[in-house]
Structures are given as C-alpha cells and as structure tokens.
Amino acid sequence: MNAIAAHPENPLLIGQGLPPFEAIQPEHIVPAISQLLADLEEQLAALEAHVVPTWEGLVQPLEQIEERIGWSWGVIGHLMGVKNSPELRQAYETMQPAVIQFWNRMSQSQPLYQGFKVLKQSADWPDLAESQQRIVESALRDAELSGVGLEGESKERFNAIQLELAELSTRFSNHVLDATKAFSLTLTQPEEIAGLPPSWTALAAQAARAAGDETATPEAGPWRLTLDFPSYLPFLQHSRRRDLREKVYRAFISRASSGDLNNWPLIDRILELRLEESRLLGHNSFAEVSLAAKMAPSVEAVEKLLEELRGASYEAAKKELDELRQFAAAQGAEESADLQPWDVTFWTERLREDRFAYNAEELRPYFPLAQVLDGLFSLSKRIFGVTITPADGEAPVWHPDVRYFQVADEQGKPIAHFYLDPYSRPAEKRGGAWMDDCISRSKNVKGGSASVRLPVAYLVCNQTPPVDEKPSLMTFGEVETLFHEFGHGLHHMLTQVDYAKAAGTRNVEWDAVELPSQFMENWCYDRPTLLSLGKHYQTGEPLPEKYYQKLLAARTFMSGSATLRQIHFSWVDIELHHRYRPGQGETAADVRHRIAQNTTVMPPLPEDAFLCAFGHIFSGGYAAGYYSYKWAEVLSADAFAAFEEAGLEDEKAIAQVGRRYRDTVLAAGGSKHPMEVFKAFRGREPNTAALLRHNGLAA
C-alpha cells in the first residue's frame, strides 16, 4: 500500500478528478507536496532503473508520474491566481523550489532521454500514431531545452537558474497584484465624478462600502476609484476631470516600479538569467530557445511579420492621433494643443460617440452576463453542434460566484465540463483573463475495455461584477474577452486526441495556441450572433439594429493604433530577449523607449514603467513569445474568412465549415504541427490578407 493511499484526509493527495475546493486549505500544501514528491521520487527512480523503451514501458508510466504532480501543483497554482492570500503565498513559495527540482530531475534524466531516443529508432516507431510520435519528439526536444545534455558545473548552474527564475516570476506577479491593490482614491465631491456613467458610480460606491464606508451610495458617494480594470478603464474613458485622469494614469503606469514592490531589479535579473541559461544550452539568446518550440522558424521570421504589420498600421495610427487632436480642438478643449496619454482614452471615447452616435456605456444594459452566455452557447450549437447546459452544484467551487457547465455532443452525450469565474475580485484575483486546464482528455485502457477521461477547463475573466440589484452588465470589450477565453476552452474541450500530453491545448506550439481564441472574437461582429447576445436586462428588448450597425462601423475605429500597440509590445519583448544585454549601458526601460520611436505615435512618458507590470513576459508563458498574438491572429482571421466565403447567412454552409473547423483545428490539439492542422482546415497556407481587411488596413 503506497503512502499516498494512506493519507486520503489531505485533499491535495487525491490526485485525480475534480478538486474538492471547499476542503483545500493553505496548511494542506506543505505536507501534501512533501509527501507526494517523496513517493514520486521513488517511482521515478524505479522507472529509471528499468527503462523499457516502448510506449507502454516508458511514456505511460512517466505520464502517470507527471499527471500526479501536475494535478496537485496545478490546483495550488490555480488558487494562487483566483484566491490569493498571504498564507497561500507562503505555502506555495515554501514548496515551489522542491517542485522545480523534481521537474528538473525528471526532464534531465539521462536514462529516460536515452529511452526516448531508442524508442524513436525502434522497429515499433512506424506503428505509433502521429500524436504518439509528436509526444515522443516533443519529449526529446523539451529534454534538450531543459538541459539534459549538461553535466557537472553547467548542470548545477542551469538548475540553480531555474529555481531563481521561478522565484523571481512569483515575486514579480505578487508585486503587480499588491501594487494594483495598494492604490485607491476616495472621491467625495460631485464634480470629481463629472462625466462618469451610473455603472461606474454604482461600482465605486460598492467598492467604498466594501472598504468600510457603509453609507456610500451611487448618487451621494463616497466613490472609491482603484487600478482594477473595471474601475480604471471607464474612469479614463469618461472622467471630465483631467487632473484626476492624469493622477490615476500615472499611478497605473508606475505600478510595481518603486519601493518594496519595485520590479525593475527583478526584470534585469530575469533577463540576465534567461540569457545565461540560453548560453548554457548553446543558443545565442533566449529568443532562440523560445522559438525552438514554436511555429515561427526564426527571430527574423517574427520580425518580418511585425514589420509587415507595422508598415500597414503606422501611418494609420498617426492619422488617427491627428484626428483625435483636431476633434479635441473643435470641442474647444484646452488640452488639444498638448494631448497627453491620459487624454487619449477620453477623447477616443468622445470621438467614437460623435462618429458613431453611441458610447460604450449605452450598450451595457443589452449585455447581461446570462444573456451573453445564452448567445455564446447557441452559437456553439450552430457552428460546432455542441449543447452547453448549467451543471452548478455538480462540482465544488472556490468562490460562490463560480459557475459550472456541461458540454454535450449531438447525441446528448457529455464530452466536457468547464468552470466560469467571471468577475473581478481585486483583493485576491490577479488581473486579466485566462483559460487553464483542470483535467485533460485521455483514453484509459484497463482489462481490455477503454474509457475516456473527459476534459475540464477553468475559464477566468475579470469583468464588471453585479452591483446592488443589477446583474453583471458587460461592456462590449468584456463580451469579446469572454468569447476569447471560451475559444481557448473549446480547444481544450473539443479535442479528439486520446493521449493527455497532446490533447487540447497541450503540445500546441505557443504561437498557434491563440488561433481558436482570437477566431471566436470575430463572431461578436456576426449579426445573428450579436443579436442573440444582446437583449436588454430589464425589458428583454433585443439589441437595436442601429447598435449592430454602429458596432460594425466602429470595428476598425482606431485599429491602426490598436495594431501598433500590439506590435510595440511584441517588438520590445523580442528585443529584450534577443539583443539586449543587461548591465551593458542601455537599460530595459531605454530599450522600450528606443523601440517606441518606430512603434508608437505618442511616445511613452519618460517615467512610464509599463514593463514592471508586463506579467505576460515576466511571470507568464509569453517570454519572447508575445508576438504569438499577432502570429496567431493571421491564422484566426484567415480561418474566419472561410466562414465568410461560405456565406455567414447560410446556416447549412456555416454548420459544414464549423464541422470541418471542429474536426481539424479543435480536434487535433497538439497531435500535429499547426501548419498541417491549418492546411487541413483551409486547404492552403495562411496569409495576412484577411487580418488586414478585418482591421481596415488593407492597401
């Protein structure tokens, strides 16, 4: 009887199925992970001592070890994102080094590496399915990128770097969360909230009550302004108080850049260590290491795409900024002569209202979350043939606001489930939105009979929460974000791959992983879809046709600026990870300002410390990979163009193309190279034409 079975009272040692969130406490972490690592260390040593270089003898037992630690540590990582607390942090940081040491030990195992090499050269190799071959090839590549070829001092140094990087990444993320939380402004005078919509004043009064002002009301205040996105963005869009916009903007761009939460030293150390790690692996830069496991063949190929998109968007962005200045001048704004970054969002919103005769706030009542979900689920049925129904109560949740859903196929058979955690909770939940896998699909064969383990996804957003008696009323941007994350979720849930290591988003090259998510955003502009999403939360009145036409017209509004912004971030990321050398004159901030000369039309302020909150590349998986959003957007726009060519009004044609998309892009997961998957769907390689057309930037 193994030790794990003897400790079922610790919920983190269950190791399979849905996590019992209501039972998991921070004090379970250290004993559970210590116990688990000791047990798995024994299993790993036994596997290494008798390597049988076959699928059943090597890949399966190794996967079982990985899945065990992946389940327990994955639950803890998930809670770090959605239910952060000092106790949880401390336990996580206590065990993180041991977990990393175990992963290093596994990925650098010479006996296992040699076993994979023998398997690849064996007589059994041609009999393996394509997905199995991809898993073996990825294991060999990942072992090489994990330092399997290193010995002695080099290996020790590599492992020390891995530990330090993981610790720095956690600290970076915590600093951003804490700095975001640390700032707030309490507004008490009516003139301080001039221009702000009722949705904002209600949210701000609710925040004030939560902070101890029990008598706060939307009408009389006080109102609490924070750097959390549902509070910060509408304030910049609508506040008529330029001085307050400046104050909150400066606070936002300087997050985590000074005092105890200063991320600048962490950034340099992270970049320094990544460069050292790359050199140990025989590469010239971290960008080369990053691209070794991506779809883009080289840094040059990435920069070529970025330059193509920069060329298409730069002049458009310049023109957009000039139009904004002229518009502000025509309105008699004294700032028009000296437009500043904290004015851009405000005047963009005014110009949108003027040009399209609506503002973002007017649409909110038409997008209550429940209605948006109905529309999203009916779209999924129309194009993919799947039925999604609530399954609340069937799974333990980490917060009362979390929902649980079932996904069924055409025959009504359950094929997947997902959690949805929709609202922002600045005190404990990190910003942004993401999809993560809770359980991956896999087929298990026992005693001659096969059973399929169904996938389960976590979908996490940070949208406006319900306020007082009103449901969550979403901005159109929040609707797009939900569609985006749901696209990732579909990729994870509709996979047909039977091997967990290549099912869903696993083993998919990082720069192709955004294809299904960005693809789904296009449907927010499809007329039947949008009209099914948009119904007034009080009257049930459908979204008026005029709003649909306005949203469609406004789709390419300021798209030059939006495209250029992504190019700017992508290029800064590549430059920092490819050519920048920490401590040799230029600082990371200098690099950003240098790149900004060609990739921004309003240069960042000298004190802009955006990099200090750029979690994507310093504490997420996007290091030397932020370009992936644009790379995959080329794929996703081209994929959506297949539906446009079939005719978006033709339900039968849409269902056929949707089925083909489901059977290729969504079903294949990481079992084939993304270019092959794309060609299987589209019949050819992708090109940028559809993306430029959708963005109104086609020549």
**Does the residue 293 lie in any domain?**
yes
Closest CA to 464 of 187, 215, 201: 201
CB atoms within 10 A of CB 24: 22
**Does the residue 175 lie in any domain?**
no
Domain that holds residue 682: 630-694
Predicted confidence (pLDDT) per residue in 246-304, tens digit: 999 999 999 999 999 999 999 999 999 999 999 999 999 999 999 999 999 999 999 99
Per-residue pLDDT, 512: 96
Q: Which amino acid is at 137?
A: E
Where the chain has pLDDT below 50, the residues are: 1-7
Same domain, 286 and 241: no
Same domain, 129 and 272: no
Are 325 and 339 contacting, i.e. CB atoms less than 8 angstroms apart? Answer: yes
Same domain, 92 and 217: no
The verdict on pTM exceeding 0.85 is yes
The CA distance from 326 to 479, in Å, is: 31
Instruction: Mention every residue, 6+ apart, whose C-beta is less than 8 A from residue 615.
Output: 172, 173, 176, 430, 432
Same domain, 570 and 615: yes
**Does the residue 157 lie in any domain?**
no
Whether a cis peptide bond, with omega within 30° of 0, leads into 222 is yes
Sign for the CA dihedral angle at 410, 412, 416, 417 comes to: positive
Same domain, 486 and 583: no
**Residue reference for tokens 């023998």:** 118
Same domain, 373 and 503: yes
Per-residue pLDDT, 606: 93
**Does the residue 287 lie in any domain?**
yes
Per-residue pLDDT, 5: 43
Phi, psi (degrees; rounded to nearest 5) at 687: -140, 170
Grouping H, G, I as helix, E, B as strand and the rest as coil, residue 225 is strand
Per-residue pLDDT, 160: 97
The CA distance from 132 to 481, in Å, is: 34
Q: What is the CATH number of the domain that holds 119?
A: 1.20.1050.40
**Does the residue 92 lie in any domain?**
yes
Are 541 and 531 contacting, i.e. CB atoms less than 8 angstroms apart? Answer: no
How remote is the C-alpha of 363 from its chain's centroid?
A: 25
**Does the residue 381 lie in any domain?**
yes
Name the E strands within 227-364. Answer: none
Number of domains in the chain: 5
Among 599, 623, 647, where does a domain finish? 623
Same domain, 542 and 411: yes
The DSSP 8-state label assigned to residue 43 in this structure reads H
The active-site residue, picked from 478, 485, 514, 521, is 485
Among 149, 175, 195, where does a domain finish? 149
Segment holding 296, helix H or strand E: none
Q: Which amino acid is at 229?
A: F
The CA distance from 334 to 343, in Å, is: 11
The verdict on whether 478 is a catalytic residue reads no
Whether a cis peptide bond, with omega within 30° of 0, leads into 466 is no
Per-residue pLDDT, 238: 97
Closest CA to 364 of 200, 562, 556: 200
Per-residue pLDDT, 334: 87
CB atoms within 10 A of CB 355: 14
**Does the residue 168 lie in any domain?**
no
| Both structure tokens of 143 | 């072992």
Same domain, 206 and 267: no
Same domain, 51 and 120: yes
Q: What is the CATH number of the domain that holds 377?
A: 1.10.1370.40
Same domain, 439 and 544: yes
Among 583, 601, 623, where does a domain finish? 623
The CA distance from 627 to 493, in Å, is: 25
Determine the longest span between alpha carbons in the chain, in angstroms.
Answer: 80
**Does the residue 370 lie in any domain?**
yes
Same domain, 563 and 536: no
Same domain, 30 and 132: yes
Per-residue pLDDT, 337: 86
